[in-house]
Amino acid sequence: MGSQIRLPNQSWVPGLNILRLTHSRRERLTFLALIAPNFILFGIFTFWPLIYNFYLSFTKWNMIAPTPTLIGLDNYATMIADPIFWKVLGNTLYLATGSIAIRLVLALALALVLNQKLAGRDIYRAIIFSPTFTTGAAVALVWTWILHKDLGLLRLPLNLLGIVSPNWLTDINWTIPALIIVTVWRGLGYDMVIFLAGLQGIPAELYEAARVDGAGRWSLFRHITLPMLSPITFFLIVTSIIGALQVFDLVAVMTGGGPMNSSKVYVYYVYENAFKFFKVGYAAALSMVLFLITLAITIFQTRLSRRWVHY
């Protein structure tokens, strides 16, 4: 047999380990240099405001005094005894649950329809998606006119059905339903597009195999479409809840929280305490509670998703 050439052990090659170490350090330094701007921005505009807000929640300050005054847990005790706080929290949860349920059902229905080969399909998609690009203040101004009891456009189809248009924005029983209508209209297009992307990502082979086995439309929808869309549904539920808990512009323009606090939502109440009543410490405490509520709902949804989300 011919002699075999044996290469030297690379661990004993002079300078090789030093080159590897140098290369590894360069990669780490490059990585740190690339992520440093993002960390700096997050630190300045996210983490530091959150930490400072936590500190302010234990103080009393009107933004005029040189420094805040520490008062311990007084702001949180005041919050528990504040009837407006509980009213605002109930309004916010009412708006969130109502708008999210309607949005997701309608968005999925529209996505299923517009995923078919229809004439003018792209035009319909663009029209439904267009409110997503509209600012909240503009949406609020337009819908304030649409919902007007005597002059609004919505009274016309209601009159055809023999229904008298209610005082959407001045009746305490109709302000939240009015906000739900506007919130659904504003976010419907975004949810529809996300569902469309999910539908187009489902392999056609799954439907073909199920049809061969004799599955009907309802079986296809129940056993293939819904499970395959579950990750997207979970994403939309979480992001919609976070967005609904932070509604501000629609309330500020359309109702101003009235009448009789019937449409006052959480973020608008925080704004009032901070910039109208100059109760910065109390507003900070309200913000911390909202943060904890959002965090708790997100964690709960994430754990619950293990039972119904299929990746």
Among candidates 197, 186, 221, which has minimal Cα distance to 100?
Answer: 186
Query: In whole angstroms, what is the distance from residue 233 CA to residue 215 CA?
Result: 23
Question: pLDDT class for 311, splitting at 50, 70, 90?
Answer: confident
| pLDDT of 11 above 80 | no
- Give mean pLDDT, residues 171-186: 94
- Closest by CA to 236, choosing from 125, 108, 75, 121, is 108
The model's pLDDT over 39-59, given as tens digits with 9 standing for 90+, comes to 899 888 888 999 999 999 999
Phi first, then psi: give them for residue 204, nearest 5 degrees.
Answer: -65, -25
* Amino acid 7: pLDDT: 47
Average pLDDT of 143-159? Answer: 89
More confident residue, 13 or 44: 44
> How far apart, in Å, do the first and last CA atoms of the chain sit?
56
Give 205-216 pLDDT, tens digit per residue.
988 899 888 888
Q: Which domains does the chain have, with CATH numbers?
A: 1-44 (no CATH), 76-307 (1.10.3720.10)
Averaged pLDDT of the chain: 88
| Beta-sheet strands, E only, within the chain | 59-60, 69-70
pLDDT digits (tens, 9 = 90+) for 252-264: 999 999 889 999 9
CA 214, 216, 219, 225 torsion-angle sign: positive
Q: What is the mean pLDDT of residues 237-245?
A: 92
Stronger pLDDT, 152 or 182, i.e. the higher one: 182
- Provide the pLDDT for residue 165: 87
Tell me the percentage of the chain whose pLDDT exceeds 70: 93
The answer, yes or no, to whether residue 290 has pLDDT greater than 90, is yes
**pLDDT above 80: residue 225:** yes
Instruction: State pTM to two decimals.
Output: 0.84
Say what the pLDDT of residue 1 is: 46
> Which has the minimum average pLDDT: 8-17, 36-45, 168-177?
8-17
pLDDT computed for residue 19 by the predictor = 55
Strands 59-60 and 69-70: antiparallel
Nearest Cα neighbor of 309 from 244, 218, 237 is 237
Residue 18: the pLDDT is: 57
Pick the residue with more confidence: 5 or 77? Answer: 77
Mean pLDDT (whole number) for 131-155: 90
